[in-house]
Structures are given as structure tokens and as C-alpha cells.
Structure 1
Amino acid sequence: MGLQCEACNNNISVTQRRIKCTICSKSFHSECVDFGDTTSLSRNQWKCPSCAVAQRKVGDNSDTPVRSIKAATQTNLNLPATHSKAKDIAIPTMENSGTIPSQITPDLMPHLEQLLDIKLKSIKEEIVAEIKSTILNQIKDEIKAMSSQVKNIENSYQILQNEHCDLKQEIIKMRADITERDNQITELHNSLNKQQQWCRQSNIEVIGLPELSNENPKLLITEIANHAGVKLSAEDVEFAHRVQPFKSIPNRPRSLVIKLKDRNVKDRILSGLRKTKGITTKDIGFAGKPTRFYVFDHLTPNNKVLLKETKDIAAKKSYKFVWVRNCHIFLRKNEESPVLSIASKKDLSKIA
């Protein structure tokens, strides 16, 4: 257990200044007994107030201090010993007295106030210094902990940044691979479309021709050729039949597809129909009200979509002519402008 100050009854820490009585060996806070650097007595000569009072004096004792300010304030001002931290001061000796004589009160009270002010100021400075030290230590600990956390965050950020760079490079490579694959797919798609269209070079597609229950498709194409000024026999036709569209439209007849043995015969039929300004059901012997139908090159589904997009853009750009010849799409803005060929969607950018 540590030392205890006999004046204030509080423990004396190793960091506090203390003084030990040479008579009774009791320990005190240096502040509680007003022992400082300016004291004339050395530590080997110092006596506590109680021992100093109890020690017998030699000679005239009329001016001998017999008790400290602590004892005086406890006896005469009724202050508890445990709450008195005032510095001990000497007061005149009074025999058989229980009160302070009125003639010294005016001199004593200002001195007490001064001592209390000094002591309170010292205590305040100590408290402020201790709080400041504690707060500074806490701040240092917090800063140290935060520095460690910041360091960990920096390391984590660096790891994430490296991973991000790696992922970015992988994404760039994947995009390049995807672009290359897309180009390959587009080339394959265009190549397949060209092959399909090549197989249809000799085909004619008839759209809008009403269906009859007992119709003969080969006979129908023969009548269409006759109207175009081309003599055609059944032997010139490889096949002729109706085909189901990808998207059925109510009350709309299925298209009639005819494959001819000679592509030149197909070209002559289409050229003859352009000269006649079209064809109706009456021109091929159908009874009833004449109905207009259309005869075209047999385009692949992709080329049909491309033709529709070409017509839409051409209408917005005020192009006058859009047509198909030998399964190729052409357009022209007016009679004086050059002819543009549209073979893929990339060519749509030519339409200005």
C-alpha cells in the first residue's frame, strides 16, 4: 500500500512531491505543508507542524508558532480536517482560548483568502494539466489506431486497384474477342445469306394472288408469263407451290414460289411485267372483280427485311426510286443522281 499524506489523508503517488518529518517520520504532500524550493530549512531539519508545536522551546516562547493554519481553521472555523488543504501557516499562541481574538481577525482573513486562492489556482492548474495530458494521450492512441487503420485501408485499396487493373485488362481483351467473334458471325451470316440468295436466283415469288381450291401453280405461272410476253411451258418449271409466311396475316393469301430452270427466263418475265405496269387476276383468267397482285425476285428473309429498311430510309430522305434486280437492292434519289447498291445493313449509311 502507498504512502498517505497526514494532512489531507490522500495517497501520495510516486510522481508527487513529498516531505518526511524528521521527528515522527510521517509523510506529507509538499504542497500541504508549504515545503518548497524557497523554504530555508533542509529536508534533514524539517519537522511537521505537530512535532514543531510539541517540541519544547528554549527562551522566550511568546512568538512561537504552536499550530498550523489547518489546526487553526479546524478549531476556530469548524472546518473538517479531511477537507482542509490550505497551506500551514503559523499564528500567535493563545492560552485557554477557544476563539480567535477579534484584534487579529482582520489580519488573518485576507491571508487565508490569499492562501486559498493560491491553492485553488494550483489545484486548477494541476487538474487542467492532468486532463490535458490524459486527452493528449488518448488522442495519440486514437491517432495511432487510425494510422494503423488507414495503413490497412491503403493496403486493401492497393490490392483492389491491382485487381481492378487486372480485370480491366481482361475486359479489354474480352471486348476485343467479342468484337472479333461478332465480325466473324457477321461474315458467316452474310456468306450464308449470299448462298441462300444464290440458290433463289431462278425463283419468282408471287404475292397477293388469291388461293383457289383446285388451282394448278404451274399453270398459274404459265399464264403470268404469257401476260409478260414470255412463252413458258410446264417443263420449264422445276416446282411451284404455296409457302407459309413467318407471320400469318388474316385474309391474306400465301405467297406462291416458282423455281424456273433458266434464270434468263425469270428475268424476261419480270422485265415484261414492268413494261405492262403490273398484273391483275383478270389478266390470268380469274373471274370476278380484278385484284392486283405482285411478282418479285424470291428474296431471302434477311434481304426482305433489308429491302423494307431501305424503303423506309429512302422515304425519309426523299428518294424516288427503290427496286430489286437479280436479287440485288438498288435505289436512286432522282433521275440525275447515281444508283446506290444496298447489300447489307452497313450500306444503309450510304443513303444521305
Structure 2
Amino acid sequence: MPSNCNKCKNNITRLDNDKINCTNCEMMFHTRCVNLPDVNINKDIWKCENCVIKVKSKEPILDEILKELRLLRSEHAEVQKSLNLCYEKIEDCNLILKKQEQTLVEHLERIELLETNNSTLRKENLELKRQINDLEQYSRTNCVEISGVPEFKDENTMSVVQAVGTALGLNLDSYTIDTCHRLKKNFNNQPRNIIVKFVRRLDKEEFLRCRRIKRNLSVNDLPGDMRNPANSNNTIYINESLTFYNRQLCAKARAFKREKNIKFLWIRNGKILMRANENSKIFHIASETDLNDVH
């Protein structure tokens, strides 16, 4: 089928040798019409003038696009570089966090061990304090404290104690009493208490028994030279000698007795005993927590 030359518009037959097709628009031309030589023509890449002009007109746009692409590629490389740096820093942070986490775990384990050891030491310390208190209280087994007896300058404490014994109907000689003396000064300017250590526990028990019988023992029961007119009606109290800890515990027990309407509180052989009423059991108060058991 004949075609026309896109330049001269004349027919081009299949037998014509001076013809060429544009590889871009596929239009057919006479080689003479497009001023092509007869030899050394690569017909596989040849483009007509119009197509060449179109391609050249697009080259600036392509150049701009390529420039933008190069810029984008450069920016992408910078971003990738920054991301890689961030990844490295994140990895470093993760390593630091892992080390800190391990250190924290070790410290927590150490704290837990220290708390366990501290708890054990506290229990051992409390047990040692209890044992020391028990030993100190045992050393006071034969001791009583007398309070409310007037104090005079250059007094003979042994004679004062013997006078108290006489008031109770009990004869106390020097062989019965190991030692006796006034304690440190009271803050309320009251006469200092007298501590008496008996040779035998039986004598101490008898002394306390006589005091329980004579419940209204007062300064008036003493000889005249041992009385003080200002406090002649004051009651004389005789109690078992307690350690500092047991005295504090006894004071708390008395406050608890008043608050909870506990009926009985007494001391026997250095032990603090409580009983809610006549029908309840007897509780030994060895620590403040034991008060909660009284019912």
C-alpha cells in the first residue's frame, strides 16, 4: 500500500529505496526530502526534524527534572545519613538503658537483702534487749522500792527501813537486809524513793505480804522523829523494784487499764500481770503489744 512523504506529500511506494521512517512519530519521508545522504544512515534511530525539535524543547524540562531528582537524591542521602545517626544514638541509648536497668535490678536486690538483714537485726536486737531486761529484772528479785517516806538530812536509811518494817509488824535486822539507799532526786521535789535489797527472797515476799495486809500504811505510822507535819497523812507505797523498761511498760499498762476498764493489774516477781475480770485469764505483759491480747 503506497504512502505519502510527510515532506513533499508525494507517493512513496514499497519499491522506493530512498525512503525512511521516523522512529518517534513513524512518519515516512524521502531521504532526499530530509537531506539525508544515501549511505551511513542508521534508520533504527533516525528522527524527523519535527520530532527532534520536540525532543530538544523538552530537554530543559528534563534537565530541570533531573536537577530536582539529583537534589532530592542528595537530600534523601542526607536524611538517610541523619536517620542512621539517630539509629546509632538510639542504639547507644538502649545500651545505656539496659546497663542502668541491670544496675537498678542489682541495687533493688541489694536493698531487699539489706531490708531482710535489717529486719533480722531488729528482731535479734529486740531479743537481746528482752534478755538484758530479764537479766536486770532477775537481779532485782530480792529488791523493793519504798516511796512516800519523808527524807531528812544525815538520816540513817537502814533505820528508816527498819521503822517501816516495824510499822508493818515485821522485825527487820541487819542480817535480813543486804543494802538500802535513796534513789536519785525526783523532779517533783517529793522525797526520794528508797530501794531495799533483802538477803533472801523469802524476806522480800514477807515484807510485801505485810504491806498488802496493812493497806493504809502512812507517814503517821512511823516514829515521831521520822514524821513530817506537812505530809504526815501521806501514804507509804511499797512495790517490787522494776527495770526502767518495765517501769515504762507498767505506766502504759496502767493507762491501758483505765482506758479499757480492765479490772486487775499487779506485779508478781518482777512480771506485769493483767486480768480483765474475775472470770478471764491472766495475761503476762512483756511488751506493749501484749496489751492488745488482754480481754
Question: How does the TM-score come out when normalised to structure 1?
Answer: 0.60
Residues 163 and 233 from structure 1, CA distance in 2 versus in 1: closer, same or farther, beyond 3 angstroms?
same
SS at match of 1:279: coil
Cα distance change, pair 122–294 in 1 and its aligned pair in 2 (3 A): farther
2:150/2:228 contact within 8 Å kept: no
The answer (yes or no) to whether the contact 2:275–2:294 under 8 Å persists in 1 is no
The answer on whether the counterparts of 1:241 and 1:258 sit within 8 Å (CA) in structure 2 is yes
Of 177, 192, 199, 2:132 maps to: 192
Structure 1 residues 220 and 251: alpha-carbon distance in aligned structure 2, compared to 1, 3 A threshold: same
8 A Cα contact 1:228 1:270, kept in partner: no
Count of aligned positions: 241
Structure 1 unaligned spans of 5+? 1-36, 41-67, 69-86, 90-114
CA apart distance, 1:340: 0.8
Structure 2 unaligned residues grouped into runs of 5+? 1-22, 27-52
8 Å Cα contact 2:151/2:191 also seen in 1: yes
The correspondence for 1:252, drawn from 187, 190, 206, is 190
Which residue identity does 1:165 align to in structure 2? V
Q: Please state how far the C-alpha of 1:128 moved relative to its aligned partner.
A: 6.6
Alpha-carbon distance between aligned partners in 2 of 1:335 and 1:156, rounded to the nearest angstrom = 71
Aligned with residue 326 of structure 1, among 263, 266, 269: 269
Aligned mate of 1:280, from 218, 229, 236: 218
Q: Measure how far apart 1:204 and its partner are.
A: 0.9
Correspondence for 2:110: 170
Counterparts of 1:1-352 in structure 2 under 5 Å? Answer: 132-244=72-184, 248-285=186-223, 286-288=227-229, 289-351=232-294
Q: 1:278 to 1:339 in 2, by over 3 A?
A: farther
Q: Structure 1: which 4+ aligned runs deviate by more than 4 Å?
A: 37-40, 118-123, 125-135
Deviation at 1:290, TM superposition (A): 1.7
CA deviations on 1:30-70 (whole Å, 9 max, x unpaired) are xxxxxxx9699xxxxxxxxxxxxxxxxxxxxxxxxxxx9xx
Alpha-carbon offset, residue 152 of structure 1? 1.0
Rounded to whole Å, the distance in 1 between the matches of 2:118 and 2:176 is: 48
Aligned-residue CA RMSD in angstroms? 3.1
> Which amino acid is the alignment partner of residue 191 of structure 2?
P
- One-letter amino acid of the counterpart of residue 85, structure 2: A
Q: Which amino acid aligns with 1:296?
A: N
- 1:326 is aligned with what amino acid? N
CA distance in 2, matches of 1:88, 1:186: 102
Aligned residue type for 1:140: Q
Deviation at 1:309, TM superposition (A): 2.0
- The residue identity in structure 2 corresponding to 1:149 is K
For residues 188 and 213 of structure 2, what CA distance do their matches in structure 1 show? 32
Letter of the aligned partner of 1:230 in structure 2? Answer: L
Q: Distance in 2 between matches of 1:151 and 1:189?
A: 56
Greater relative contact order: 1 or 2 (C-alpha under 8 angstroms, separation 6 or more)? 2
Q: 1:227 to 1:134 in 2, by over 3 A?
A: farther
Secondary structure (helix, strand or coil) at the match of 2:278 reads coil
Contact 2:143 2:204 in 1 (8 A): yes
- Take 1:208 and 1:135, find their aligned partners in 2: how far apart are those partners? 101
Tell me which residue corresponds to 1:55.
Answer: none
Letter aligned with residue 152 of structure 1: D
Tell whether the 8 Å contact from 1:320 to 1:332 is kept in structure 2 after alignment.
Answer: yes
Give the superposition deviation at 1:120: 8.5
2: distance between equivalents of 1:313 and 1:156?
Answer: 58
Corresponding residue number in structure 2 for 1:52 = none
Q: Is the 8 A contact 1:219 1:234 kept in 2?
A: no
- Which residue of structure 1 lines up, in the alignment, with residue 15 of structure 2? none
- Output the CA distance in 2 between the equivalents of 1:127 and 1:208: 113
What is the aligned-residue identity percentage?
19
| Pairwise CA distance, 1:334 | 1.9
TM superposition shift of 1:258:
0.7
**236-245 or 314-323, which moves further after superposition?**
314-323
* CA positional deviation for 1:175: 2.5
